[in-house]
A and B are shown apart, each in its own frame.
Chain A
């Protein structure tokens, strides 16, 4: 099983192409080497995404061992949930497959479909139950301004969805470009509130430092992993607890 009993995930949400700082594909690759999976959602509407942005999104996801989906802003809620869920499972499958290759010289795809289903069922349960650290990296450059209300609602919705999982979670939101830095970490304004509310004004700047923003996400995940203790027992999940699901995220 994983050396690291926490699933570490980055989800990048953008509508354009990076144009400043380190190559994001390189950062995603480096993150993957440290056990962190990077997935990307590209937003399509009247955006600057284009062929180049699309290709970059796919390359980042490929290097990051994650998935890439290109969607309209209206489909963000379901897509964010789907990508988060599936990329957690993808990470687990990669770990399991590495083990299988070591043990039997072939991965799950080399097994008969029935056995494969058993492995998949196990991975699915693990994906529900394992603690997860998720960093959302959000492009807030000028072209995103019309999509920000949808993005904020989708973040709120994702917190809601993460709260419904069995396992604990820690959510960090990073926006870029930042006021002074390339990227900045957003903190919930008060305990129990959504980080979505903390995301402030759009930067009208033309720079899109995707690489440095991903780098900040990697650093904050690794830093938090040292401090977090997911081993303490979690309060029982009942309906009232679910309502306040966002209480359970620890913002750094």
Chain B
């Protein structure tokens, strides 16, 4: 049972054979049965499927490296929710070895996030949303920072925005790093050290820089082709190129100014970055009201039912009862 995979399968990017829609797998340790619906994602370290676990739709991440997956599960279970119960990432369900015929497949099941990437979100609803989206991402990052961790590999593929509420979720906790260590995983385009703006040591500034670089990418100011070209240059030259790009009058906005300060590392902590982005929102009434509206519809709805029982009909009814009671009392009295 120990060598169901050869080293070859596990680490040479040949990958696990894909799981066909409709096939069912059973957990060796937990006994749960999963039915594969379809593939929803593919990364460097694993494949993610939409699956049925009982009658619940879940995301099932299948990876060759069982150890890395078990660490990811641990990270997600511990850090995926903050102290107040707010979601940072998808809810972790369980980790198990699934059996399919004579194959054993390490898998991690978690809540399925019906969401879209930051790029699709902005394409669909407009770039005005960008400050809001970055704000939401940085709040999640801040929660990790408060607990002594850094997310690390922040990039469009590792963030989802819930379709219904536009809430952000961090996906892929495999790159989460303890503050002070070297960042475990990174992507050139969003890496502080690659751009020559600092070290690759995990600190909150690393994530803030990545978040700002993400915004710059979404604005279309840095594309994959730029990174391919700049791969041949030294970090100092990349830095100069990016700063020149951000200075370009044609793109200059107060928001971009904030992103630039964040990339350079001029914010003391994640909170100050959040505050600055928040100010942009105050100055932008359209976005601010859109956010308010979405926050009200998304979050306040259930609360409203409980705290607003006294609408017009309620008051009318109350008055009617009182009047009726007084009349009754008067009638009896007389």
Contact with B along A100-138 (1 / 0, CB 8 A): 010000111110111011011101100010000000000
| Chain A positions within 8 Å of B224 at CB level | 74
A242-B199 in contact (CB<8A): yes
Known contacts A67-B11, A81-B186; A153/B70 CB under 8 A:
no
Contact of A112 among B1, B29, B44, B104 (CB under 8 A): B29
Contact with A along B201-222 (1 / 0, CB 8 A): 1000000000000000000000
Known contacts A107-B2, A112-B29; A157/B70 CB under 8 A:
no
Q: How far is the CA of A73 from the CA of B225 in the complex (A)?
A: 12
Q: How far is the CA of A58 from the CA of B199 in the complex (A)?
A: 33
Q: How far is the CA of A230 from the CA of B286 in the complex (A)?
A: 61
| Chain A positions within 8 Å of B186 at CB level | 78, 81
Please indicate which of the listed interface residues B4, B14, B228 has the most CB atoms of chain A within 10 Å of its own CB.
B228
Contact with A along B78-100 (1 / 0, CB 8 A): 00000000000000000111000
| Chain A positions within 8 Å of B235 at CB level | 153, 157
A109-B2 in contact (CB<8A): yes
| Chain A positions within 8 Å of B11 at CB level | 61, 66-68, 86-87, 90
**Size of interface on B: residues with Cβ below 8 Å to A:** 47
Interface of A is mostly: helix
What is B's interface to A at a CB cutoff of 8 Å? 1-4, 6-8, 11-14, 29, 44, 65-68, 70-71, 73-74, 95-97, 104, 106, 181-182, 184-188, 191, 193-194, 199-201, 224, 227-228, 231-235
Q: How far is the CB of B297 from chain A (nearest CB, A)?
A: 39
**Size of interface on A: residues with Cβ below 8 Å to B:** 56
Contact of B181 among A69, A89, A106, A128 (CB under 8 A): A128
In chain A, residues 134-153, which have Cβ atoms closer than 8 Å to a Cβ of chain B? 149-150, 153
Given A77-B188, A110-B2, A117-B71, 9 additional A-B pairs, CB 8 A? A58-B8, A73-B228, A106-B1, A109-B2, A109-B104, A113-B73, A114-B70, A157-B194, A160-B193
Please indicate which of the listed interface residues B70, B194, B200, B224 has the most CB atoms of chain A within 10 Å of its own CB.
B70
Known contacts A68-B11, A70-B13, A110-B2; A117/B199 CB under 8 A:
no
Q: Which residue of B lies closest to A149 (CB)?
A: B232
Q: How far is the CA of A144 from the CA of B250 in the complex (A)?
A: 38
B232-A150 in contact (CB<8A): yes
B29-A69 in contact (CB<8A): no
B12-A82 in contact (CB<8A): no
Q: How far is the CA of A65 from the CA of B181 in the complex (A)?
A: 26
| 8 A–B contacts, CB within 8 A, in A order | A74-B188, A86-B11, A108-B67, A109-B4, A110-B1, A116-B66, A117-B70, A164-B181
Q: How far is the CB of B265 from chain A (nearest CB, A)?
A: 12
A120-B68 in contact (CB<8A): yes
A242-B201 in contact (CB<8A): yes
| Chain B positions within 8 Å of A85 at CB level | 184
Contact of A109 among B66, B96, B181, B185 (CB under 8 A): B66
Contact with B along A211-243 (1 / 0, CB 8 A): 000000000000000000000000000010011
